[in-house]
Structure formats: C-alpha cells, structure tokens
Chains A and B, each alone.
Chain A
Amino acid sequence: MKDNFDDLVNNLLSKTLFEAPAAPVEEPQVEPQVEPQVEPEVQPVPKPTPGPQRPVVPKRHPLQPTRPDVKPRPQATDKPTLGPDARAFIKARE
C-alpha cells in the first residue's frame, strides 16, 4: 500500500508539481510589420532591473482567473427556516 502511494506520489507529482517547470516552448514570435514605410528599427526596451521592488508595469496576478471566457453560476445560502416564506414553511410543517 505504502509502495503504491510512493509510486503514485512520484509518478503523479514529481514532474508536474515539484520539479521546476521547464521554460515553455514558444513559437518564435514574428514582429508584425504594421506599415512597410514605418521606420523598421525597433528600439530595444531596457530590461527592468530585477530586485525586490513592485513592478513598474502592472502584470497579471497569479491569483487572477485565467479564463475570462467562462462564468460560474451564483451560489445561494438557502435557509428555509429564515427565508421570506419561513413562517408559512414552518406552519406547513406543523
């Protein structure tokens, strides 16, 4: 049982959960040419100095939802003993 669990932990988790994730393989980005006659040279953007400071440019917070395309349904707190029809409900039960 223990061996099974250890195997499970190793197989399921070691790669996905605990190893440093590999850098994502990205397709080479092609800079879109807006207008051919526009000055082709793009000034390199200076990299911000890394360090323990707040980022200057807002970035996505890791807690922010990643799927703006979906929406959950509302949840309720149902208390038949307290809702607007509580008295009627209680009366019916009595």
Chain B
Amino acid sequence: MKLKEALDLPFGGKYMHPDKQRYVENLPSHEKDVVTGMYPNLDGENMTYLELITSATYKSSVERLAKYLGLSLEAMHKKHPSFSSLYNIILTNYLGTVQAEANYKQELQVLAVETVLDLPEFKIIKEMVAAGMLKIDARLDVPDLRNAVTENELKSKNGKLSTSEKDTQQLATEFVKPQLDPEILAKRSFAKTFAQGNAVNKFYLFHLVEDRLKQINPQLPKMYGIVCAGTTMSYYGMPMIEMSKSFANSAAVGSAEVINDGEIKARGANFPILVHEIVKGIYNWLTYDVATQKELDRETLDQEVLELMSGQELYNIFLKQIKVKDQPLIPFIVKDLLQHPAEVIKKVNAGKEEAGKIMPLLVRRAKITYILYKFVDDDDLVPQIREKLMKMPENEIDVIYAGGEQAEDALQDVINNLQ
C-alpha cells in the first residue's frame, strides 16, 4: 500500500501534467523493474526516492524558467497559470534563436564542441579527440532518428515475426520475450539517466560563451535561457503520449548517436540543444559497452521521459560527492562504477553517508587508472604498479597524478621497488 504521495512540487505542480504525475507515482511494471535495480528506497509501492529526485528536478526547472522570464515564482504562476500558456513564449523564442543562428552555423558548431570539451569534466575526452581516438561530428541540423525505436514499434514487432525468424523456434522465443539481465538494465538505466541529467544541466553552458553569442545577436543568451528552461518544463507539462516513429520525428529537435566505437554524431536545432546532444553522445559512448546488443535493442525513445524528469537531481547528487579538482575524473568514475554490481550504484545514488564510503575509493581508482595509462609504458608492469599504488597514501597518489618532475621521481621509486 502506498503510504503517501511524495511528489512535492512548488505551487502544487501547476506545470506538471496529471498524466506525468500519475506516471511517476505509479510507474508501469516494466519501468519499475528497471529503476528498482538502481534507486534506493524503492520497493513494493514505495516510490520515495524517484519522487524526491523528480520533485527536485521539477523545482529547479521552474526556478530557472522564472529567472529567464525575469519574474518571481509567484509572478510567473500568476501570469501563466498553466503550462499551455507558456507555449507561445517558448516557441517565439525558439524561432528567434533559429533565425539568429542561420548565418553562423559553422561557427556555432565548432563553438559547441569547444564549449563542452573545455569543461574540466571533459578534459580527458578533449585529449582523446585531439589524439584522434574519438571523433565528434556535431551539426546544427535536423535530428537523425533512423536507428531509434519506440515502445510502440517493439510491441508491433512482437506479433510480426519475419519468415526467417520463424524458422528458428529459439530465435522466435527470444524475440518475443528476450531474457534481459536485470543487472545490466539497472546499470544502463543509471547511465542514461545520469547522461540526461548531466546534459540538461549543460543546456546552460551558453553562459560561458555569452560574449561571443552577443556578437551574433545581443538577445541570444536570453532567448536561449527561455527556450532551455521552457523546454525542460515541457518534460513535465506535456501529457503522456505514446511515442510513434512519426511523432518522434515531428517532435524531435535533437539527436545523439554513437556511430561506432570511435565516433559520436550529435544533431541539434540550436546551439544549446547541440551542446546538450554532444554531452549525451559522450556519455552514451562511455557507457554503452556495459550491455549486450539484446539490452541495447530494448532501449526506446519512450524511456527517456522518466530519465529526463528525474535525471538532473540524480546527476547533482553524484556531482556533490566529487571535489571540484577531481572533476576531470568523472568519465573514469562513471565507467568504473558500471563495472561493479548495481547494488553499488544504488549506494552512490543514495548519496550522503553510504556513498561517502564508496566515492573516495572510486576517485582513487580513477586516479590510478589515469596514472597507469598516462605514465606507464610497459603493460607487463601495470598489475604490479597498480598493486603498489593501491597501497600508497592519498597524498602520494596525488603527487604522481599531478604529473611533472616530482611525479616522475615518485613513480620511478615505485618501479624500482617492484619485486
């Protein structure tokens, strides 16, 4: 039995469609099975954790929108009593951004990639791009969802097996009811929710390059703010709509796709949406290899609704556990975290005391992984050096991690003392 309605939304959640509220509070079983594997305090009818992070994400979205509209929360709710009354403002500003960008696409595409890669969090990714290990193909263009799939399509496919599929009973059974690994589903769900939340936060990176944007059009930053905050609100304000491919194509303004193990393709209708897609693409590239093709094929556009409504707070909880100086290690930490049982992810998501025991160790492991890649040339020595480093005090690890002459001496000492 559900004990209480835990969604706690400012002004009674006026901008949240009742469909969405019901959806979060009573998740369908296929969604629930997945998120139960990665969220703490989710059992039986208890949806507390999900409701808390969704409430917090909604609250920050409303506050941002009010800020960009130059209104207090009270004034915004009075002036715009429902989400539908915000439609035209969002749309007008969106069209304004597309028009303003029309003659500067080339410049803005490059700027979008630079803005993302200049963040400390993507320092290592920037190194990889510079070394040719990763290519980011980012364009201000229409989304490309040819390879995406919706729940609707999956359902209809179930009843329509091709002749070749029917030939093999085993394949047919697998297709109708694929045996998906709950551990992998939970990990991918975390990875995708983390990526969505991170990417929503990165909508606002345009502030870092405001001066350059104002040269294009002095109104651009303000228009971007309204569009980003307003469209984030649309995650909540829109009713639940069963996604079809044609609907997805008509509604989409951005897409992110991992083309192969060394290329990310991002498409966005304007600068902040392109930035958002680049971030999503990078994290999808970093994390997809935790799954088999079977689980990846079950990832639908529909699942993004919940990820978008709750991801921002999930990302914030994670980020709060990492010192600013350690932010370049975030990609390593996320990748490493996914190599361990989903139960560990649950503890990290819980934040506070429980995560406090785990995160410092993940950070330490990330530093060591980086040191071994960056500074140790001989693969044969890696296991022994790793063992030594794992036993070293934190301050000594930091000396090596920082690089430079002192690091060289310290690492040489480690190597000299190997058995």
Q: Which residues of A are at the interface with B, using a C-beta cutoff of 8 A? A: 5, 8-9, 12-13, 16-24, 47-57, 59, 61-87, 89-90, 93-94
Contact = CB atoms under 8 A, between A and B. Distances in A.
A69 B144 CA distance: 22
Interface size class of B (residues with CB under 8 A): 35 or more
Nearest to B302: A78
B377 A55 contact: yes
B72 to A, nearest CB: 23
Contact of B390 (A19, A65, A80, A87): A19
B18 interface: no
Given A70-B291, A74-B145, 18 more contacts: A16-B341, A19-B390, A20-B391, A21-B383, A23-B384, A48-B377, A49-B377, A50-B376, A51-B375, A51-B408, A52-B404, A64-B128, A72-B258, A75-B255, A80-B241, A82-B91, A90-B91, A93-B87
Interface in B273-304: 273, 276-277, 280, 284-286, 288-289, 291-293, 296-297, 299-301, 304
Given A51-B377, A51-B408, A76-B252, A70 B386 contact: no
B349 to A, nearest CB: 14
A72 B284 contact: yes
14 contacts: A17-B365, A51-B408, A67-B261, A71-B260, A74-B144, A76-B145, A78-B251, A78-B252, A81-B87, A81-B234, A82-B90, A82-B91, A83-B250, A93-B87
Contacts of A77: 143, 252-255, 268, 273, 276-277
Given A61-B128, A65-B289, A81 B231 contact: yes
A13 B377 contact: no
Contact of A63 (B84, B143, B332, B357): B332
Given A79-B234, A83-B251, A20 B361 contact: no
B252 A83 contact: yes
Interface in B214-273: 227, 230-231, 234, 238, 241, 243, 248, 250-258, 260-262, 265, 268-269, 273
Nearest to B239: A93
A22 to B, nearest CB: 8
A17 B377 contact: no
A90 B251 CA distance: 12
Interface of B: 84, 87-88, 90-91, 94, 124-125, 128, 133, 143-149, 192, 227, 230-231, 234, 238, 241, 243, 248, 250-258, 260-262, 265, 268-269, 273, 276-277, 280, 284-286, 288-289, 291-293, 296-297, 299-301, 304, 331-332, 335, 340-341, 343-344, 347, 354, 357-358, 361-362, 365, 369-370, 373-381, 383-387, 390-391, 400, 403-404, 407-408, 411-412, 415
Nearest to A86: B91
A78 B143 CA distance: 10
Given A47-B380, A63-B331, A64-B261, A70 B292 contact: yes
B251 A85 contact: yes
Given A65-B288, A70-B288, A87-B91, A48 B304 contact: no
Q: Which secondary structure characterizes the binding site on chain B?
A: helix
Nearest to B268: A77
A21 B147 contact: no
B104 to A, nearest CB: 19
Contact of A72 (B88, B296, B377): B296
Contacts of B147: 73-74
Nearest to A16: B340
Contacts of A16: 340-341
With a 10 A CB-CB cut-off, give which of A12, A19, A57 has the most chain B CB atoms.
A12
B148 A90 contact: no
A84 B246 CA distance: 11
A82 B253 contact: yes
Contact of A52 (B253, B254, B277, B407): B407
A65 B412 CA distance: 30
